[in-house]
Chains A and B, each alone.
Chain A
Amino acid sequence: MQAFLDSIAAGMEGVPHWLVYAVGMIAFGAIVVFGFILPVAGVTSWVERRVWARIQSRIGPNRVGPGGFLQWLADGLKNLLKEDVIPDAVDQPLFRLAPYVVVAGFVGAFVALPFAGSLIIADLNIGILYVTAVTSLVVVGILMAGWSSNNKWSMLGGIRSATQIICYEIPVGLSIFPVVLLSGTLSMQGIIASQGWAPQQWHMFHSPFLFAAFLMFFVGALAEGNRTPFDLPEAESELVAGFATEYSGMRSLLFFLAEWGNLYVIGALVTTLFMGGWQVPAFTGNTLVLTAAQFGTFFLKAYLWVFVAMWIRATLPRVRIDQLMSLCWKYMVPIGLVNLLGTAVMMVLVPEGSDVVRWVMLALALFVLLKFGLRVRYHLRRANYGRMGLGAARA
């Protein structure tokens, strides 16, 4: 992007470079935020509601737009038009600022996400470290929201969330280390380049250690995003909406937007680190088509994990805060250290990586998927047995 702006600046004399850069950044930021991030977060909310609905034997929103696709737009508009209720007793500056800090934290991660071979806003050479650091900004925002709400329940929610996110940074970091060891670089494009487009060349199947690292990363990222089974900060039956209780209208929607958008960031990170990113076999010389294919692959892979996160949220109950802590410190951190050690040992013993192990891991994963499919079929069979004829109005 810097090259692009340089070329514009070269064409305009008399305009200082920094002005071109500043305007370019703001314009580009606006395009990315309003053109990609907000729609993705909004569409994720629609997908989440439809996915949950099908799991719960009901239909989700299906009236606004084709298949309810514009429901998120309607919700967003409604919230913008709502009265901005700010309770008197809250800490005014913190209360107003908190949602924006949270959103800034998650939007900042998009800077380093590699959408395609040439579609990355900034290929920082500390890519993954930058992403981890920026997403920690949401802790500050959540604490601000919980504290300033002048509400004991909100404060509880905020503190729980801050504890959770800070603790789970460690397993997440520990599971990034093996990937960085293998790729030899922190840069996102570099990590993708060290994998191939075929499944057995992905980091996920490199060895059991990396598979465990992948699972840990996913679980830890769910905990970072306050998603079930770690959504104690927003536990509905206890705290109404946790730290976001006192918020109404667009401010509360911003918190939810951050949560849904974060899902996409989680998916994108899993794809980049463990699933080969945007790589497709070079099937055409046309760069536009190739870039589009790469973008599509990346998006689909990331969205697969978004779907899995939603599916998990519909299935699993919540973990209590002390169980969450013990899970982190007693299970995930030791396993993360073992993964790190194992990967390092493997790299010494088998520097190029072992193809046999890769194929075995891939075969094991496919086997587990097959068992899963068979189990699903078993459940379908059992539930359809003796299906009751329902009334005339039902399908």
Chain B
Amino acid sequence: MGYVGNIMSTMTTIFEGMAVTFSHFFRTPYTIQYPDRMPVRIQDTLPYRYRGFLEVDLEICTGCLACERACPIDCIYIEARKDKETKQMILERFDIDLAKCMYCGLCSEPCPTGSIHHTREFEGADFSLESMVRRYVKVPVPAYKPKKAGEDDPAIVPILERGMRYVNEFATADSPGSKVVTPEEVDA
């Protein structure tokens, strides 16, 4: 590249670059002005599968401890004992340490009823670390026993439906056609 060639290429490439940046003045900025200048709540813009804070619906928790075993970081503490007379599992303690949780989703996958699930909440910053431990059992409650003929208690049916919808999002080896759609169906 000769002397003049250097000067010409400098000017042309700078011209090109400045044209690109100038064109950005006429484009809309991508900024979302969270949290105050937004048309909807930010949580409603998050997708369904978003892995925010964990929540437990104790009404449908079966006390199987699958979530505690699956957690790789041991942030779930469950104390459940079998009551000798009624032969029911009594849940005495269900603590999730949200400061330790790494929001991986491994606990909600094996849950049979979808009682432990991720919500779309993520705004939980606080001044104390102790407030990050969510204690879901206020008084010891019996665990849920799934009924073979389907749930009939009207108080529990909506909770169970919501939980099962969450759990059914996870793919399993036996769900070949349930949510699988071909590209043609997707575009329709």
User: A: which residues have CB within 8 A of B?
Assistant: 53-59, 311-312, 314-316, 331, 372, 375-380, 383-384, 390-395
Contacts and interface: CB of A to CB of B under 8 A. Distances in A.
A163 to B, nearest CB: 22
A393 B19 contact: no
A393 B18 contact: no
A391 B45 contact: yes
B153 to A, nearest CB: 36
B136 to A, nearest CB: 30
B17 interface: yes
Contacts of A57: 24, 27, 29-31
Interface residues of B, number: 29
A392 B42 CA distance: 9
Secondary structure of the B side of the interface? helix
Closest 8 CB pairs of A and B: A375-B19, A379-B23, A393-B45, A315-B21, A376-B23, A59-B31, A58-B31, A55-B21
18 contacts: A55-B24, A57-B27, A57-B29, A57-B30, A58-B30, A315-B18, A316-B17, A331-B3, A331-B6, A372-B15, A372-B22, A375-B15, A376-B22, A376-B23, A379-B19, A379-B20, A393-B39, A394-B30
B167 to A, nearest CB: 25
Contacts of A53: 29
Contact of B18 (A58, A312, A377, A395): A312
B32 A311 contact: no
A380 B3 CA distance: 33
B17 A315 contact: yes
A314 B20 CA distance: 11
Given A315-B14, A376-B19, 18 more contacts: A53-B29, A57-B27, A57-B29, A59-B29, A59-B33, A311-B22, A312-B18, A315-B21, A316-B17, A375-B15, A376-B22, A380-B23, A380-B26, A383-B23, A383-B27, A390-B30, A392-B45, A393-B38
Nearest to A379: B23
B28 interface: yes
Given A54-B24, A393-B45, A311 B30 contact: no
B188 interface: no
Of A53, A311, A393, the most chain B CB neighbours within 10 A belong to A393
A221 to B, nearest CB: 16
Nearest to A384: B27
A384 B24 CA distance: 11
Contacts of A372: 15, 18-19, 22
A392 B40 contact: yes
A316 B32 CA distance: 27
Contacts of B85: none
Of A58, A312, A379, A391, the most chain B CB neighbours within 10 A belong to A379
A315 B18 CA distance: 6
Contacts of B31: 57-59
A56 B18 contact: no
